[in-house]
Each structure stands twice: as C-alpha cells, then as structure tokens.
C-alpha cells in the first residue's frame, strides 16, 4: 500500500494493519459475492464479517450474517457465470478501504462496474457499502431481476432497466418497515414533517 505522509509527516493509516484491510477487500469479491457454493460462502462470511455486519446496497440495507448470506446467494443465482474482477488495487485509509471491481462473464468486458467501500472492526468487515458506477447493461439487466414464484420471467427487452432493478429489489430484499433485528432489512429513515 502506498502511503503518503500528511502535512505533519504521519502516514494517513498509521497504526492500522493496511494489508489486513486489503485482504478483506480482495477476498470478499470471490469468496462471498462470487461464490456459488453456499457452504463455502457461509464460511467466508463468518471469517470475513462481524456478526452484526451491515450491507448497504441499492436494493436496501441488510444486517447480520444470515441476511448477507441470503442476499449474496440470491444475487449469485441470478448470474452464476459472472465473475467479480478487481479493477486496480485496494486503497486503505484508517479503518476503511475501497476496491473498484467489474462483473461479467470471465474474460469479457464487465457488464457492470462498481466500488466496494468497507469499514473494518476487529480485523473483519463491519460495514460494506456497494456503489454501482454503471447500471447493468441491457443484456446483464436480465440477471438483476427474478420473477416472483409462479410468474414467467420476462426478457430484458420487455422491461426497461429501471423496472428490472426495482423488480430485483422487491424479490431479494424484504419489504420496508421491518424492525432492526438481525437478518432483516432496516426501516428506511422517515424525513421529519413540518
């Protein structure tokens, strides 16, 4: 990790195990979100994440190992042939880090890209924020939605991209308004009324 001193000559991540945070970022992509085997994925989640971890993704907020495992498994099932490829090296600052990535069929141009931003605590990921740089392309958007049980899956050409993502969000995340207990989506913040 390349650390540049600040004005007072102290590296920005002094006292932090930079390589441990880089390792968390590099292992998270293939071992959690890229893993198709549920037993190996669950083992990686237990090793890499705190028990009270929080995942922030476009479809919602998920708390705990069970919720993370379900989300990662459901997402993986939508595109089992995709791989997550780091785009550059991880960057670490204090107890946080980020890693840019691409996702798509192995050896091909990524269908979509994003950045993972983590907060580490006690050598594990306490929070993961997933930012999408580019929405999935039309051909990849089909992988981002799944039909409700009993419904026929629609081709991406039948739904606009926003509808695909909204439909995916409804089927992967739990509906808003659930309490803050482990394994459930958090209640969205309600703006103050005037």
pLDDT digits (tens, 9 = 90+) for 105-126: 999 999 999 999 999 999 999 9
Using one digit for the tens of pLDDT, what is the confidence trace for 136-171? 654 444 434 333 333 233 323 322 333 333 433 443
Instruction: Give the residue among 92, 100, 104 at the shortest CA–CA distance from 34.
Output: 104
Domains of the chain: 18-135 (3.10.450.50)
> Element (H or E) spanning 65, and its range?
helix 64-78
Nearest to 116 by CA among 185, 48, 190, 17: 48
List pLDDT tens digits, range 174-192.
333 333 444 444 444 444 4
Strand segments, DSSP code E, in the chain are 49-57, 60-63, 82-86, 91-93, 96-105, 112-121, 124-132
Q: 102-109: which pairs have CB atoms within 8 A and are 24 or more residues apart?
A: 103/79, 104/140, 105/81, 106/81
- Whole-model pTM over 0.75: no
């Amino acid at each position: 990790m390349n650390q540049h001193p600040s004005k007072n000559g102290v590296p920005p991540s002094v006292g932090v195990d930079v390589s441990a945070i880089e390792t968390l970022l590099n292992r998270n992509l293939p071992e959690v979100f890229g893993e198709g085997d549920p037993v190996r994925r669950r083992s990686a989640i237990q090793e890499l994440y705190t028990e009270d971890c929080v995942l922030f993704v476009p479809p919602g907020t998920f708390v705990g190992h069970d919720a993370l495992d379900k989300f990662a498994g459901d997402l993986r099932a939508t595109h089992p042939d995709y791989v997550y490829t780091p785009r550059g090296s991880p960057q670490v600052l204090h107890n946080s880090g980020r890693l840019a990535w691409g996702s798509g069929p192995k050896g091909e141009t990524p269908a979509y890209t994003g950045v993972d931003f983590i907060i580490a605590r006690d050598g594990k990921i306490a929070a993961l924020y997933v930012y999408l740089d580019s929405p999935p392309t039309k051909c990849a958007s089909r992988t981002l939605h799944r039909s409700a049980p009993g419904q026929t899956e629609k081709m991406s050409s039948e739904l606009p991209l926003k509808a695909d993502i909204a439909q995916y969000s409804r089927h992967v995340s739990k509906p808003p308004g659930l309490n803050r207990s482990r394994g459930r989506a958090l209640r969205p913040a309600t703006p103050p009324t005037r």
